[in-house]
């Protein structure tokens, strides 16, 4: 399956890049900059390098060895870092550029800008700016205050913008990303989320050939989807656990269980209101509350697992935002999960 890799350098918008690509029918994966493999697999047809909260002078390095191997779209920090490393110049802005700006297209023949209007609104979010381009680069867009709002090096399939096409405030951001994915990378744009189901079930069967799995269920979409996939893959070896913490809304436990019955998921309810109330008594700090709840969940799952046969797996519904908010990649922690 053809893929787009989005390399995350700590931008608040990195997940949004992945989402925009998938909305355009391209399967995208997010990879932190410090966990990249040494070589690009053949199924990766294009790369997008994210922005970053860091300055070029102190931020993480980009994988320069990949330049020229695949089409690259460098956004904001990445555009600046590449310009500085390849013979251009980047300086600190007199005032941080944050908010809308009017961009003027300079290179109408660029495949990245094909079909886009001469002027449109974009969204800026940076404190550095490119003041001189590398010798081989040509400018493709500017604003009133930024002479090099975008540039490209066609011979190396390198395209760069100092604004954020992935955010909704950039009027033609979706069209620009489509141009990069379809016209430059050559993606077919035929990926659909439903295509993943059989593939994921097959992967789960291979990863869990023996042993039983304990699945933590919350009643939400994330854990329910994870549970349905694993249950389809391993059948009776699946054990769904729903812990009644006493922290849900009135009658919500009954509503959740009724929904699980409709899906056919086998679910065991663990009553634990008193344990959670006692553990949380006197706590006011939100982070301490989350960690206390997490520790108690772990203790309960361990107790349940000890009573079941050959439990080897714990299934948890974790999505990209959970990973980013917990700060497990290159972003700062927002909250624990």
Q: Choosing from 76, 152, 215, 239, which is the catalytic residue?
A: 76
User: What percentage of the chain reaches a pLDDT higher than 70?
Assistant: 93
**Taking residues 12-27, what's their average pLDDT?**
96
Q: Which of 7, 9, 14, 11 is nearest to 125 (CA)?
A: 11
185 is catalytic: no
Q: Choosing from 152, 166, 185, 239, which is the catalytic residue?
A: 166
Q: Choosing from 164, 171, 215, 231, which is the catalytic residue?
A: 164
C-alpha span between 124 and 161 (Å, rounded): 10
262 class by beta-carbon count within 10 Å (0-12 exposed, 13-18 middle, 19+ buried): exposed
Domains parsed from the chain with CATH numbers = 3-184 (3.40.50.880), 193-325 (3.40.50.620)
Looking only at the bridges linking them, the beta strands covering 72-75 and 158-161 are: parallel
> Which pLDDT tens digit goes with each residue over 56-101?
888 899 998 999 999 999 999 999 999 999 999 998 876 566 889 9
126 is catalytic: no
89 is catalytic: no
Question: Do 122 and 149 touch, CB atoms closer than 8 A?
Answer: yes
Instruction: Name the pTM for this structure.
Output: 0.78
């Amino acid at each position: 399956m053809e893929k787009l890799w989005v390399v995350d350098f700590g931008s608040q918008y990195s997940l949004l890049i992945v989402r925009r690509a998938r909305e355009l029918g391209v399967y995208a994966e997010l990879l932190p900059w410090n966990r990249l493999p040494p070589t690009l697999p053949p199924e990766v047809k294009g790369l997008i390098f994210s922005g970053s909260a860091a300055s070029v002078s102190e931020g993480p390095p980009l994988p320069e060895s990949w330049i020229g191997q695949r089409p690259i779209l460098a956004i904001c920090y990445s555009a600046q870092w590449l310009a500085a490393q390849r013979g251009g110049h980047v300086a600190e802005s007199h005032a941080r550029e944050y908010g809308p700006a009017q961009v003027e297209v300079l290179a109408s023949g660029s495949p990245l800008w094909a079909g886009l209007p001469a002027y449109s609104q974009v969204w800026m979010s940076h404190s550095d700016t490119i003041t001189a381009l590398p010798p081989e680069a040509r400018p493709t867009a500017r604003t009133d205050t930024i002479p090099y709002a975008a540039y490209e090096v066609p011979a190396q399939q390198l395209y760069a913008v100092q604004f954020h096409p992935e955010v909704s405030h950039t009027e033609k951001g979706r069209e620009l990303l489509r141009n990069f994915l379809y016209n430059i990378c050559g993606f077919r744009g035929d990926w659909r989320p439903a295509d993943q189901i059989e593939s994921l079930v097959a992967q789960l069967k291979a990863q869990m050939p023996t042993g039983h799995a304990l699945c933590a269920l919350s009643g939400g979409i994330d854990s329910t989807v994870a549970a349905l996939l694993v249950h389809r893959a391993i059948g009776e070896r699946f054990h769904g656990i729903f812990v009644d913490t006493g922290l849900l809304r009135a009658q919500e436990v009954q509503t959740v269980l009724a929904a699980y019955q409709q899906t056919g998921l086998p679910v065991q309810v663990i009553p634990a209101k008193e344990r959670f109330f006692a553990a949380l008594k006197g706590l006011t700090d939100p982070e301490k509350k989350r960690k206390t709840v997490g520790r108690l969940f772990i203790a309960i799952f361990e107790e349940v697992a000890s009573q079941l046969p050959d439990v080897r797996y714990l299934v948890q519904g974790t999505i990209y935002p959970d990973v980013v908010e917990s700060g497990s990649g290159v972003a700062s922690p927002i909250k624990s999960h």
